[in-house]
Chains A and B, each alone.
Chain A
Amino acid sequence: MTASAHDPSAAIETIRKRLFSFPKRHFLSAGDLNAPQAADLLDLADAFVALNRQTSKSLDLLKGRTLMNLFFENSTRTQSSFELAGKRLGADVVNMNPKTSSVAKGETLIDTAVTLNAMRPDLLVVRHASSGAASLLSQKVSGSVVNAGDGQHEHPTQALLDALSIRRAFGRVSGLTVAICGDVLHSRVARSNVALLQILGASVRLVGPPTLMPAQAERWGVTVHHDMKSGLAGADVVMMLRLQLERMQGGFVPSTREYFRFYGLDREKLSRAAPGAKVMHPGPMNRGVEIDSDVADDPAVSLIQDQVEMGVAARMAVLAALAHRLEEEGR
Chain B
Amino acid sequence: MTAPQPLAFVNARLVDPESGYDGPGGVIVSEGVIADVAKGREFGKLSKGVRVVDCGGAMLAPGLIDLRVKTGEPGAETKETLASAARAAAAGGVTSFVVQPDTDPAVDDPSTVDFLLRRARDIDSARILCAGAATKGLRGEEMAEIGLMREAGCVYVTDADKPIADSKVFQRLLSYARGFDTILAHRPLDPWLAKGGAATGGEFAARMGLPSISPMAERIMLERDVALLEATGGRLLVDQLTSAQALETLGRAKAKGLRIHASVSINHLSFNELDIGDYRTFAKLTPPLRGEDDRQALIEALASGLIDIVVSAHAPAPAEDKRLPFDQAAPGAVGLETLLPALLGLYHDERLPLIDLIRAVTLAPASLLGLQTGRIAPGAPADLVLCDLDAPIIVDAARLLSKSKNSPFDGRRLQGQVLMTIVDGRIVHRAEG
Query: Which A residues are closer than 8 A to B by beta carbons?
Result: 108-110, 128, 130-133, 135-136, 150-154, 185, 188, 191, 214-217, 219-220
Contact = CB atoms under 8 A, between A and B. Distances in A.
In the complex, the 3 A-B pairs of residues with the closest C-beta atoms, listed nearest first? A130-B325, A132-B279, A153-B209
A216 B326 contact: no
A152 B209 contact: yes
A255 B205 CA distance: 27
B73 to A, nearest CB: 24
Interface in B198-235: 201-203, 205-212
Nearest to A191: B209
B278 interface: yes
Interface in B208-266: 208-212
B328 interface: yes
Contact of B325 (A132, A154, A214): A132
Given A130-B325, A132-B278, A215-B212, A108 B207 contact: no
A134 to B, nearest CB: 9
B349 interface: no
A135 B324 contact: no
Contacts of B209: 131, 150-154, 188, 191
A214 B206 contact: yes
Given A131-B279, A132-B208, A153-B208, A108 B324 contact: yes
Interface string B318-354: 0010011111100000000000000000000000000
Contact of A216 (B206, B279, B320, B323): B206
A109 B279 CA distance: 14
Q: Which of A131, A152, A153 lies at the interface centre, i.e. has the most chain B CB atoms within 10 A of its CB? A: A131
A215 B203 contact: yes
A214 B211 CA distance: 10
Contacts of B324: 108-110, 130, 136
Q: Which label, helix, strand, loop or mixed, suits the secondary structure of the A interface?
A: mixed
Q: Which of A132, A133, A215, A217 lies at the interface centre, i.e. has the most chain B CB atoms within 10 A of its CB? A: A132
A191 B278 CA distance: 16
Given A108-B320, A215-B201, A215-B212, A132 B206 contact: no
Contacts of B201: 215
A215 B201 CA distance: 7
Nearest to A151: B209
Given A108-B320, A215-B212, A131 B206 contact: no
Contacts of A191: 207, 209
Given A108-B323, A130-B327, A153-B209, 19 more contacts: A110-B324, A128-B325, A130-B328, A131-B208, A131-B210, A132-B208, A132-B326, A136-B279, A136-B323, A136-B325, A150-B209, A152-B209, A152-B210, A152-B211, A153-B208, A215-B205, A216-B203, A216-B206, A217-B206
Given A131-B279, A191-B209, A151 B327 contact: yes
A133 B323 CA distance: 10
Q: Which of B201, B211, B279, B320 lies at the interface centre, i.e. has the most chain A CB atoms within 10 A of its CB? A: B279
Interface string B298-329: 00000000000000000000001001111110
Nearest to A31: B207
Given A135-B279, A154-B209, A216 B327 contact: no
A308 B327 CA distance: 31
B202 to A, nearest CB: 5
Nearest to A190: B209
B206 A133 contact: no
Contacts of A108: 320, 323-324
14 contacts: A108-B320, A108-B323, A130-B324, A131-B326, A131-B327, A132-B325, A151-B325, A152-B211, A153-B208, A154-B209, A191-B207, A191-B209, A215-B212, A220-B207
A47 B209 CA distance: 33
Contacts of A136: 279, 323-325
A133 B208 CA distance: 12
B202 A109 contact: no
Nearest to A134: B325
A150 B279 CA distance: 12
Q: Which of B201, B202, B209, B328 lies at the interface centre, i.e. has the most chain A CB atoms within 10 A of its CB? A: B209
A215 B212 CA distance: 10
Contacts of A185: 206
Nearest to B327: A130
Contacts of A214: 206-207
B209 to A, nearest CB: 3
A258 B320 CA distance: 45
A122 B325 CA distance: 22
Contacts of B323: 108, 110, 136
A45 B226 CA distance: 61
Contact of A131 (B202, B203, B325): B325
B237 to A, nearest CB: 31
Nearest to A152: B209
Contacts of A215: 201-203, 205-206, 212
Contacts of B326: 130-132
Contacts of B279: 131-132, 135-136
Q: Which of B202, B212, B278 lies at the interface centre, i.e. has the most chain A CB atoms within 10 A of its CB? A: B278
Nearest to A215: B206
